[in-house]
Structure formats: C-alpha cells, structure tokens
Structure 1
Amino acid sequence: MDPLADTLRRLREAFSAGRTRSPEFRAAQLKGLGRFLQENKQLLQEALAQDLHKSVFEAETSELLMCQNEVDLALKNLHNWMKDEPVAKNLFTQLDSAFIQKEPFGLVLIIAPWNYPMNLPLVSLVGALATGNCVVLKPSELSKSTEKVLAEVLPQYLDQSCFAVVLGGPQETRQLLEHKFDYIFFPGSPRVGRIVVAAPAKHLTPVTLELGGKNPCYVDDDCDPQTVANRVAWFRYFNCGQTCVAPDYDPRRSPSLGRVRRLRGLLGCGRVAIGGQSNRTSAPSVRGPRPARPREQGPRMGTGRSLCSPCNGRRPKPSSFDDEPPPGLFCRPQVVTQMLHQTSSGIVGGNQGFIHLTLSTLLLGGVDDGIGRYHGKFSFDTFSHHRASLLSSSGLEKLNELHYPPYTAHSQKLITWVLGSHRCALL
C-alpha cells in the first residue's frame, strides 16, 4: 500500500468539490497561517536556533517577518488579485467579453530546502493558498527542529482536508515525486532541482525552480573600500553565508551569526589559501588552487566592460547582480546603467547586498539557474493558471455570418482589414 495515496486522494477530493475556491476560504487559510507565525514565534525562534544557530534578530528578519509580510500583502490584495483581467479587443470582438481568469492549478507540491527552513516553504505557501490550491508541503529533513514544528503545529492552523505535511529524506521525496501533482515548487540546489524537474516530466507537470547560481560582485575602482567591505561582508556572512545570492562561511564566536557544521569536509578538497580553522564551526575560508568560479572570487575590481564579458559568456547567468549580474554592483550610477544594459541576471542590487529580497514587490527568480518567479503578487501569478476567456453572445448571428465560407471578395477584404489594420482596439 502506498502511504501517500490516501492523503493525496483526500486533497484532490477537497479541490474537486470546490472547497478552496472562494475568497473567504482563501482568506481564512491565510489568516490561519498568520496566527501560526504570531502565536508560535518563540517556538519557531528556538527551532531556527537549534537548526542553524540563528539569533533571535536574524530569525525574525530573515524568516518570520518576511513570511508575515507575505501573508499581510496577500490578505490586503486578495480580492484584487483574484479579479478577471480584461484585455484589449479587435473590431470582431468589440461586443464580446475578453479577459484572463486566474484559477488554481489543483494539487500543489512544495519541497523546501534547509538553508531558510521557514522562509522558503512558507513564502511560497502563501501564494499557493491565496490562489486556492490544495497543498502538500515537504520540509527539509536536514532542519529537524523546524521540520517538527511545521509537521506538528502548522496543520492545526489550516484546513487539513486541503493541506498536508509529508516528512522524509531523499528516498521519500523521490517517492513523492512519482505521484501526479498539478504544480511543483522547489527553491534549493541545482543538483536537487534537476531531480525535481525530471521526475514529473512524464506527467507534464509545470514546475518552478528557484536555484542557487554563481553570483559575481562588481566593485568599481572609485568606490570607498570600507563601505564596500562593510556591505559585502554583511551579506556574505548573513544566514551562515547560505543564501542563493551571497554564500560564504562564519566566524567562530559571533553570537549574531549562524552555524553550518557540515562544511568541514569541503575544506579538504584542495589547498586552503585563507582561513580554514575548523572545530565545531568553520572560519571564513578561501580554497585553492583551482580557478574560482564567479561567486567564489568575491568582489572583482575592474571596468564595467571587463566584467560584462564573463557575465555574458559561457558561465550560467547569475541569480543576482549584487552578486548577480553582479548581485552586487558597487559603482557609479553610469556604470550601473551600463551593467543593466549589457548583462543578464535574475535580480540586480546596486550598492547593497540582498536587501532587494525583503521587497515583496520585487520578484525572485533566475535566468539560467531557475524556472519561474515568486514573491508577493508574482507568487499569486505563479500558482495560478491564467485562462484566456472570450465570451460571445449567442445572438447577433448576422455579424458572425461574415466569418463563414464561401468567402466573397468583399468579405475577404473586410476580414483582412479588421485583422490587419485594426488588430486591437483600446478598451
């Protein structure tokens, strides 16, 4: 017996019955998620401290607050986001109703990574709930304390006929991916992303992948070195350096910085040029002698022209330019403009780290290192099927007779004129 079969059948039955479609139900689910965040703040902070040694401040700013902001934004705009979107019409359809309808996909699977074990699954969950989908959430087994809270506490705040948490490691995840879902969302590593996108291909299931890319950081010659050092060090050390747009390791003693204890083995793969001290935690380290990839090189000095070349060459396009086109562009406005016009990346941060990730109004998504986008309304759009709709009257048949053969010279000329010279009239 497949232990997942009953769970998935229950969720599909709830969706087929239309339980999740009303704006009232969606709002109730979002409010439940908001209460989960508010009423279990200390429990969540303790779980994040156990998993990643996150300080209360970092847990609040990088995980809990960002999730709450997404909930608040979705509740504030839910009715507006759900509205049909009218589109321009041509002369043939002036008496018809043409619009884009946003409808839920159905049964959605969200697979979460370990580096932001609360932020990444719950920010995407907001979008899935707001669009009226039923959801299976698979937390990371590597963040055991957070996984436990998500599995045992979160379902108490949501309708369990429409939401489920599935636990397990890689083997269980592969078994989960054997089932048919209507949409799959995964923010994590490219290695796992390849598995996630390949498994549902037999079902033609649409997938969003938000993966970690290589992120150069460009520092112009005339920047203030101390300012750049402060900002680059902050966003590279934040969250143990385990952010898709700013990875690095941590100093040993700071109570404000997290810990990743599985990195020790990586330091043995090559000569350590700088740092390398490791006990229970790892100091900031640079490995050698193999040529570093863009993100491993750290800040790069040079002209805008010299940096545009590697960013547009054979390497994958970066996730961020601050580190991506560079994720970080520390330079004059004219150089920023040059980089924006001559490079491509998922996001761009000028003269800062990854503060852009705190804005729900800006999308998060890659070019070569991902498929799709999310955050705020972009999450709502991602988890919605956009259905093109044209509703015509059953009467007015005389007007429609123009479309029917046999075509006269006059009707052909008129149809060509309508579809050619007047393709779309403004609404």
Structure 2
Amino acid sequence: MEEQMREVVDRARVEFKAGRLRTYDQRRYYLLQIDRFLKEQEAAIIAAQRADLRKTHMEVMLTEVATCRAEISAYLKKLKSWMKPEHVSKSIVFLGESTYIQRQPYGVVLIIAPWNYPFYLLLVPLIGAIAAGNCVVIKPSEVSVESEKLVREQLHNYLPEECFPVVCGGPRKTTELLKQRFDYIFFTGSTFVGQIVMKAAAEHLTPVTLELSGKCPTFVDASSDMQCVANRIVANKSLNIGQACISYDYIMCTKETQERLVKAMKTSVEEFFENDMQNSASWGRVINARHFDRIYGMLENSKGQVAIDGGVDKSDLFMGLTVLTDVKENDSTMKDEIFGPLLVIMPVSGLQEAIDFINSKEKPLAAYVHARDNAVIREFEENTSSGALLSNDSAMNMSVPDLPFGGVGRSGMGAYHGKLTFETFSHRRAVMHRKQALEGVNKKLRYPPYTAQKTRRLMAALFTTEDTPHYGLYIGVGLVLVGALVAIGVTLGVTLY
C-alpha cells in the first residue's frame, strides 16, 4: 500500500513540474470544472447527504453547494489580480531597483476532509489550492459513505486524475498516505487526529493548516431577548444536529437566566418541530452507531437535569435536541466536545466567572456571547481568546468570505476562506532585481574598508523609504547623484582617451 501511495504522489508531482497549473487560464479552467461538478451533480450531492446524515435539501444547498459556488465566483473575479506580483516599498538605497512578492504554489498538497460537511470542507480548500497553482491529493472521509463514493466515482470526470487523485479508505490508508512527502497538508477534523497529522508532517518539515475544534462556549446575559436567543440556539443545533465544529457546546448563564432560557427554548422546539423531531423533515441523524453511542454515553453519565428531552432511537440513529441544566464543571458532558444534539447549561454567577472559566480551558474554535448590553459584549471580546467571536448569533461568520476561519491553540493553526485560502496555499517569495551599475555609490556606502562615515551614510539611507521623506533622503539622493556623475565622468574620460 505504501508503494501505491508513493506512486500517486509521484505522479501528481510529475504533473506539477510539467506546469499543468502554471497559468491563470489553466487554473481558471479547473475552477470552472469544479463549478460544473457542483451544478451537474447537485441532485447526487443532495441524495448522498440525505443518505449519510438525513440533511434537508435546503441545508445541503446552503452549506454544501451554494457556498462552494459562491467561493468559485469570487475567485474567478479576483484571481488574476491576486496572482500579480505585489510591489513593496523600499529604502532610497534601492531606488530604481525592483522589489516585490511573488506568490508561488507549494507543489503537491494533501487535503484531508471530514465527514460532517464532506463537500464544503473538501472543495473550499481545493478551490484555493488550485487557484494558487498546486496539484492536490484528495482524501475524503470514509465515514460519510455515500458522499465519499460520489467524490470517488465522479470527480475525475471533471478534474484530471493524475493532477487531482482521490484516495479513499480508512485510517490505515490515511496513515500510509501521511508517510509520503507533501509540500503542504491541509487537515480538517479532530484535535486527536490533528496531532497525528502534525507528527507525520514533522518528518518532512511539511507546513500544515489544522482546522480542529474544541468545546465552543456561550454566555447568555440577563439583558438578552430570551426568545431571540433561544431561536438562534435551537436553529444552530438543528444544523446537522450539532455535528459541526462551530456548534454551541455549552452555555453559561445565571440560574435565573437559565430558567428563562429553557422556557424560551421549549417554545422554539415546539414552533420549529411541533415537538416531533423524529418525524420532522428538518431534523437529521447521527452519522453512525459509534458516534451515537459516544453521545448517548455522555448523556447517560451526566449528573445534569434533563430540561428538554428530545428522545432517542438508535435503530434510526435518531437523537432529538436534549438540554441538560445545572451541569457542573466535572460533568461527563464537559470533558470532550459533544459534536451532536446535546446541549448543556452550566450556571455561573455572572460574566466574570464565565470569562474566567473560558480562560481556564483550551482556546475554542468559536466563542459566543448573547446580550443587548454592549458593555457585556465588549468585556467578553476583550478578555477571551478564540478562533472566532460572534455576538447574538452563531456560524454566520461563515457567510462572510473575507473573514478568516480557523482556530488557535488546540482548536487549530492557520486559517482560510476567500483570498486567505489562496494565500494559505501560496509561498510568498521575496524577489529583488538589481542592476550592475552605480559601483561608485556602493564603494561610498557598503564596500570595505568600513568607516564611521560610511556607517552614518548607510544608516541614513537605509532608514529612509521612498514614501517617507526625511533629511536622510537628501543625503541618499546626493550620494546617488555623485556616484552617477563619477560614473559618467569616468566613461567620458575613457572615451576621450
């Protein structure tokens, strides 16, 4: 198997070196091919997600299809300008010279996608990697069976397999794949597997982006409109039934606020699902029995009080929204990320205790605060750290392409979305082009013998840039003119002689 994986990577490297994605037109063509895949396979994508996770047509269109197509549209409008050299300011020592940043593709990159959003979390990084000019080895998740099958059977009809091979299989196949030398690795998944990926990357000093997760905290202030907050929390947990890295994980509020919030959440559940989630077309399913048992184990071992019982049916992989109140810090639900339709509320005395608790834990991928009091929001923002911060809503930052998406600490490293995805897969090469001229100036500034006078001249020139006038500018320009006159004089003298 290792030899097979080596052949896959080597073949992609041959194609990269042959310049298959060197030009704008080549990259644009492959981006259009992905867009064609999304259009022509739209019904198949919806069916695959229905089979894997019982997602609704609307959710798949919004979170898997439309978002990817919008990303491609933005790239087609801006990629040509992004590919151009970025000129940088320089000191007067280098006036007349060319200095700029050239964005180069890394080469052959590996993208490992998760099962919860198997198209979006695969295609968005793929779009950026292609736009940057890389060949890509694609590893979809084997957990979302029908989605993996669709990618395996159809993507090669749109993208050349030698440039963009799809590797399918479980942990053993991924382990063999990670033994190969890549130029960049982009991984989305759990922190545990992220550590494995990073160790493998370290063997070859391969740069990585790790999109991980963690427990996303929420503070609900007493000043909030509780029905508004409840609606947004329940709506968030209904998206893939909480099987999302930025889903609400636990809520902190006062005991009084907890009572008001739970009452409002019951109203939301009744309005959204008519108190029958299992038969609601808007409520999905847990991905498989193993994950069902994991979440149910948290629920069974919890010491919290069941305030909203959504019901369970393992034969149908159904678990309704279940809300636990009066949860303690050492509860079973507070140890690991829930990643499912279970929501817990941990009472605190107020904002400061909530902030202190968040800061005592690993930094989350996202942190949420609900309040009508702007002072509360500012205090929360200034005193917590997370990959993203949202007030009075959740997940909506994903709809703003220019906002970076990524974690910090154990919730991840690196970020992407919009232009930042292109930047993630691009090496920023420093370029300077100089001329074989003005040796008279160089002798007065930088060549031995070194003197105090040369040091003063050079420092004055180096710390004066072309866009920040200073007295040193006049010194530098004078030196340049003197050098030019000397060069001209020598040339004339030689000519006359």
Deviations along 1:92-141, one digit per CA (max 9) or x if unpaired, are 22222121111100001000110111110011111011001000000000
2:187 is matched with 186
Any conservation in 1 of the 2:105–2:132 contact (CA below 8 Å)?
Answer: yes
1:325 is matched with none
2:362 is matched with 316
Question: Matches of 1:298 and 1:111 in 2, distance apart?
Answer: 33
Any conservation in 2 of the 1:219–1:302 contact (CA below 8 Å)?
Answer: no
Question: Matches of 2:83 and 2:54 in 1, distance apart?
Answer: 40
What is the CA distance between 1:161 and its match in structure 2? 3.0
2:459 is matched with 416
1:105-116 map, 5 Å: 105-116=106-117
C-alpha change, 1:103 and 1:302, in structure 2 (3 Å) is farther
Alignment of 1:348 with 2:389, yes or no, is yes
1:158-307 map, 5 Å: 158-246=159-247, 251-260=277-286, 261-262=288-289, 263-266=291-294, 267-269=296-298, 270-272=300-302, 273-274=305-306, 275=309, 277-279=311-313, 280=316, 281-285=318-322, 290-291=330-331, 292-293=333-334, 297-298=344-345, 303-307=350-354
1:366 is matched with 407
1:388 is matched with 430
Letter aligned with residue 392 of structure 2: N
Question: Matches of 1:129 and 1:397 in 2, distance apart?
Answer: 44
Any conservation in 2 of the 1:220–1:302 contact (CA below 8 Å)?
Answer: no
Deviations along 1:304-345, one digit per CA (max 9) or x if unpaired, are 3332222223x11111122xxxxx444422222222222211
C-alpha change, 1:120 and 1:298, in structure 2 (3 Å) is farther
Query: SS of the residue aligned with 2:138?
Result: strand
Q: Percent identity?
A: 39
What is the CA distance between 1:349 and its match in structure 2? 1.2
Question: Matches of 1:311 and 1:103 in 2, distance apart?
Answer: 39
C-alpha change, 1:310 and 1:93, in structure 2 (3 Å) is farther
Letter aligned with residue 11 of structure 1: A
Q: What TM-score comes out, normalization by structure 2 length?
A: 0.80
Any conservation in 1 of the 2:233–2:248 contact (CA below 8 Å)?
Answer: no
What is the CA distance between 1:360 and its match in structure 2? 1.2
Deviations along 1:183-235, one digit per CA (max 9) or x if unpaired, are 00011111111111111211000000011121111111111111111001111
Letter aligned with residue 312 of structure 2: S
Question: Matches of 2:357 and 2:199 in 1, distance apart?
Answer: 29
What is the CA distance between 1:418 and its match in structure 2? 2.7
Letter aligned with residue 73 of structure 2: D
What is the CA distance between 1:33 and its match in structure 2? 0.3
1:336 is matched with 377
**Richer in helix (by share):** 2
Q: For structure 2, which runs of at least 5 residues remain unmatched after alignment?
A: 251-272, 338-342, 470-497
What is the CA distance between 1:159 and its match in structure 2? 2.6
Deviations along 1:356-410, one digit per CA (max 9) or x if unpaired, are 1122121101112101001111100101011111221222222222211111221
Mean CA deviation greater in 197-206 or 88-97: 88-97
Question: Matches of 1:301 and 1:57 in 2, distance apart?
Answer: 37
Query: SS of the residue aligned with 1:252?
Result: helix
Q: For structure 1, which runs of at least 5 residues remain unmatched after alignment?
A: 323-327
C-alpha change, 1:11 and 1:426, in structure 2 (3 Å) is farther
2:474 is matched with none
Deviations along 1:62-110, one digit per CA (max 9) or x if unpaired, are 1111111111111111101111111121122222212111110000100
Any conservation in 2 of the 1:321–1:329 contact (CA below 8 Å)?
Answer: no
Question: Matches of 1:345 and 1:161 in 2, distance apart?
Answer: 39
The CA RMSD over aligned residues, in Å, is: 2.2
Deviations along 1:234-260, one digit per CA (max 9) or x if unpaired, are 112211211111157994222112111
